[in-house]
Chain A
């Protein structure tokens, strides 16, 4: 099976989407996997080959309950590419968000499905992951272990669907540690970043 893994975070490195695709790549090792980066509104050069793939797997962050604007540009640019395809690829998407609840990604997954309908692509299934802010920090934790338990379980189910080109209900997962722990860790993180930028904690609350 020919599978394209598309990292559509605008971040070039240390993205949660990168952590997600790295784990999926391991789960799909028996297939011919090609990696793409949709990091800007301009499509990369090699996208003609996307129409010849069996599956397209997108990973991207949730931005204001929806799809990041640069990815919308890319999707609009691709709308026509699949129309002539005799075997249009099946599309899968993993959306991760900064909030704790994976379910908050559902609207972005609906939009991916609507894009498939408009572009003549086959919709496979989607995954919505909460707690994405922690993923870059736990990148090196082995799959399925500790704070990656729920995360890896969802990706494993997705990989099974991708590997057989089958569809299914969208999967939503929140972290397997408490929401309050996530909230506290994230808020300590903002203060550390502010400090590293030479700001005091109170500066975070500045009004303009």
Chain B
């Protein structure tokens, strides 16, 4: 399974996202709530966020995907509030316990899965500094989530990703 988490408008999603089977798509329904930092997803209902708004089950989907594709407007060299919110709400893909990876502290995996992480950043006037920040952050995310590195794409308009995704 490929999992796509995106912040596109319904019209953009319709034109850009591939329509093959085996793809799960997480979109913004305008009702997502933010992570409150309670760690309930580790120590209360392990493996799932305690807020029930429909976005709490993404970490279990992460356990089943071969590739995670994040499509996000670039905010300051990082993800948009919606895409970041879904990511923040699903840290229980990892365990609370620590391990050392590349000489740094990280979390142990809850699942044996290792997905490929690919990211498409779009936006007008992205600076080269923002692109550099974004590349470095995605590299850090890949290690943090114990994934493998996919590609990081940049484009002025989300529509430009049509070819990349199909």
**Residues of A with Cβ closer than 8 Å to B?**
9-11, 15, 40-41, 61, 63-70, 72-73, 75-76, 99-101, 104, 106-107, 110-115, 117-118, 179, 183, 186-187, 190, 193-194, 197, 199, 203-208
Interface contact B46-A110, CB-CB below 8 Å: no
Cα of A36 to Cα of B52 in the assembled complex, Å: 29
Number of B interface residues, CB 8 Å?
Answer: 47
User: Given the complex of chains A and B, what is the CA–CA distance between A44 and B120 in angstroms?
Assistant: 32
Number of A-B contacts (CB under 8 A): 148
Q: Which residues of A contact B106 (CB under 8 A)?
A: 99
CB–CB B34/A104 < 8 A: no
A199 and B46 contact, CB distance less than 8 A: yes
In the assembled complex, how far is the CB of residue B96 from the closest CB belonging to chain A, in whole angstroms?
4
Some 30 contacts from A to B, beta carbons below 8 A apart, are A9-B37, A61-B37, A63-B84, A63-B88, A64-B141, A64-B144, A65-B137, A67-B76, A69-B34, A72-B75, A76-B75, A99-B106, A101-B104, A101-B105, A107-B77, A107-B137, A110-B136, A114-B76, A114-B127, A118-B76, A190-B43, A190-B96, A190-B97, A193-B39, A197-B43, A204-B97, A205-B46, A205-B110, A207-B111, A208-B48
B166 within 8 A of A: no
| Among B57, B105, B144, contact of A179 (Cβ-Cβ < 8 Å) | B105
- A40, B91: Cα distance in complex, Å: 19
Interface centre among A69, A187, A206 (most CB of B within 10 A): A69
Q: Which residues of B contact A11 (CB under 8 A)?
A: 36-38
Q: State the CA gap A208–B90 with chains docked (Å).
A: 12
Minimum C-beta distance from A77 to chain B (A): 10
| 8 Å CB contact of B88 from A69, A106, A183 | A69
A10-B36, A70-B35, A112-B76 given; 17 more Cβ-contact pairs under 8 Å: A61-B37, A63-B84, A64-B88, A68-B84, A72-B78, A72-B84, A107-B137, A110-B133, A110-B137, A111-B76, A111-B78, A117-B127, A179-B105, A186-B96, A193-B43, A194-B43, A204-B96
Expressed in whole angstroms, the Cα–Cα distance for A199 and B133 within the complex equals 40
- Closest 6 pairs between A and B when the two form their complex, measured CB to CB: A69-B85, A114-B76, A208-B60, A99-B105, A193-B43, A69-B84
Name the distance in Å between B62's Cβ and chain A's nearest Cβ.
10
Q: What CA separation (Å) do A205 and B46 show in the bound complex?
A: 7
Cα separation A102 to B35 with both chains bound (whole Å): 22
1/0 per residue, CB under 8 A from A, across B78-111: the answer is 1111101101100100011110000011100011
